[in-house]
Amino acid sequence: MVKWFFVVLLMYLSCTNVLQAYEASYKLPSPVIDETLQIDRKIVDVKRSFMSYLELGEGKAVVFVHGNPTSSYLWRNVMPYVAKSHRAVAVDLIGMGHSGKPDIEYNFKQQFRYFSRFIDELELDDIILVGHDWGAAIAWHYARKNPERVTALAFMEGALPPLMPAESFDALGPNMGPFFEAINDPVVGHQLVVEQNILIEQMLPSLVNRTLGEDAMSEYRAPYVDKLARKPLLAWPRQIPIAGSPRHTHRVMKGIERFMSKTDMPVLLLYASPGSITPNALIPWYVERIENIETAYVGIGLHYIQEDQPKSIGLALADWLRRLD
C-alpha cells in the first residue's frame, strides 16, 4: 500500500508538471468571457434514465456535443449566435453535466447509444452536428451510421483520426502520452481522476487560455462533487484506442477515417492557435481527405476553445449555416 501511495504521488506530480509546463508555454493575455448561464435547461427521459439539455431558438436543429470533462455549459456563449436562425440544442452526455447517472460502464458504445436515443426522443431529423473532444467522435460516428438524418457537421479539437487510433501512448506526444498513460493505469488512474479530480481541477483550466473564473469552475465541478459520479470522467480517457484496444473504439476511429474520405456532407473545421489535439499543422490532413470541408480560424486557444473564443466560433458557425441554407 505504501508503495502504491508513492507511485500515485509521483504520477500525480508528473501529470501536474506536464500541465503546468503546457500552461506556462502557451497561455497568453485572456479575453473577458461571460460565465453566467442564461439558457433554459430541459430534461428528456432516455433508456430508464434522463438526459439534460439546453435549447435556444427555432428552426432546423443544430445539436452541440461536448466531450470530457465538460457539459452543455461549454456551449453557452456559442449557442446564441446559432439560435438567431436555427434551433440550438446542447446535450449533457449521459453521466455528465446535469444528466442522469445510471449504473453503466460509460464506454463509447454506451455513450453513443444514449446519445442516439436522445436524438430519437427529441424526434430530430435533418440535423447539423457540432462536436468537440469526444463529442466530435460521437458526432462523426452518428453521421456515419445515420447519413439520412445528418445534413452537415462541424467540429473542433476532436478526439479523432489521425490522433486516434494510436500505436502507443508515446504516439500521443510528449505532453498527452505520459498523462493518459498514467490515467490508464488501474490504480494510478483511479487516484488521479476519482480521488484527486485532476481532470476538473487541473486539466480543464490548464487547457483554457484565460483563467477560468469561480462561476465556471463551480459549474464544471458541480456534477462531480460525489467521487462516485466521476466514473464517466475516468472512462473516457480509457476509451482512447492504443495498439488496437479497446477494440470497439479502434473500429470506430477506423470507420470515421474511412467515412471522412467518402462523404460529400458539408463539414466545417474550426481551429485555434496553438490548439491542443488539433494543432495548426494538422489542418491539411483533414483538408486533403474531406471533400466538402471548410476551415475557420477562431483565434488564440488551447483545447477548450469555447471558453476563449465563443464569439469567433459562434460567428463562424452562423456564417457557415447561412450559406448552407
Answer yes or no: pTM beyond 0.85.
Answer: yes
**Is 275 among the domain residues?**
yes
Active site residue 157: yes
Task: Please state, in angstroms and rounded to a whole number, the distance separating the CA atoms of residues 325 and 318.
Answer: 11
Q: Which of 133, 219, 307, 308 is catalytic?
A: 133
Q: Which domain, by its residues, includes 109?
A: 35-174+212-324
**Is 186 among the domain residues?**
no
**Is 318 among the domain residues?**
yes
Task: Please state, in angstroms and rounded to a whole number, the distance separating the CA atoms of residues 199 and 223.
Answer: 13
The pLDDT of residue 15 is 53
Place of cell 475516468: 234
Active site residue 98: no
**Is 124 among the domain residues?**
yes
Q: Which of 141, 303, 307, 308 is catalytic?
A: 303
**Is 305 among the domain residues?**
yes
Question: 77-135 pLDDT, tens per residue?
Answer: 999 999 999 999 999 999 999 999 999 999 999 999 999 999 999 999 999 999 999 99
**Is 26 among the domain residues?**
no
Mean pLDDT, the chain, rounded, equals 93
Q: How many domains is the chain built from?
A: 1
The CATH number of residue 51's host domain is 3.40.50.1820
User: How sure is the predictor about 218, in pLDDT bands with cuts at 50, 70 and 90?
Assistant: very high
Per cent of the chain over pLDDT 70 is: 90
Q: Which of 55, 92, 157, 219 is catalytic?
A: 157
E-strand ranges in the chain read 41-46, 49-56, 61-65, 87-91, 127-133, 150-158, 267-274, 293-301
**Is 181 among the domain residues?**
no
Question: 253-284 pLDDT, tens per residue?
Answer: 999 999 999 999 999 999 999 999 999 999 99
Q: Is 90 exceeded by the pLDDT of residue 6?
A: no
**Is 204 among the domain residues?**
no
